[in-house]
């Protein structure tokens, strides 16, 4: 059921690049809004990524779970913090949040096992050349 993390990342980057090349500014604008919302402010970046992870679990967005879990770890989140964020999402999201939660554990296990590419390989894509 769960795709390989590297495959998810490649697919996200490939499709993002296609969307950005489309000439429709909405795609880049949404990416910029998300990037701005996740920057440290009154809440640090780690806290924001853990919140985004919880929202991703409840919304059942598997690529988002992978992205925000990875970003939370890069921001200094511990395994325990990730697990608690996922637990809050399951508690508030109900039974339908169980499968995305299971996926979060799969991502965490793959990252811990060294199966995922480096953090640099998962940075947000730059604007592709026109």
Contact 38, 49 (CB under 8 A): yes
Q: Count how many domains the chain has.
A: 1
Average pLDDT for 7-14:
89
Expressed in angstroms, the distance from the first to the final Cα of the chain is 36
Q: What domain range is 100 assigned to?
A: 5-114
Tens-digit pLDDT profile for residues 45-74: 999 999 999 999 999 998 999 999 999 999
Please give the backbone phi and psi of residue 13, each rounded to the nearest 5 degrees, phi first: -65, -40
CATH number at residue 71: 1.20.1290.10
Q: How far is CA 91 from the centre of its chain?
A: 20
Contact 68, 56 (CB under 8 A): yes
Taking the C-alpha atoms of residue 115 and residue 111, their distance in angstroms, rounded to an integer, is: 6
In a domain, 120, yes or no: no
pLDDT tier at 3 (50, 70, 90 boundaries)?
A: low
Q: How much is the pLDDT for 2? A: 61
């Amino acid at each position: 059921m769960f795709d390989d993390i590297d495959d998810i990342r490649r697919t996200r980057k490939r499709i993002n690049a296609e969307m950005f090349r489309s000439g429709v500014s909405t795609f880049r604008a949404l990416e910029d809004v998300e990037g701005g919302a996740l920057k440290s402010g009154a809440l640090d970046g780690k806290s924001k990524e853990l919140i985004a992870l919880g929202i991703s679990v409840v919304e059942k967005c598997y690529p988002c779970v992978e992205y925000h879990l990875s970003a939370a770890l890069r921001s200094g989140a511990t395994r325990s913090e990730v697990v608690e964020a996922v637990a809050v999402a399951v508690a508030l999201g109900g039974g339908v949040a169980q499968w995305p939660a299971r996926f979060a554990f799969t991502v965490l296990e793959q990252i811990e096992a060294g199966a995922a590419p480096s953090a640099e390989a998962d940075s947000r894509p730059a604007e592709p050349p026109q």
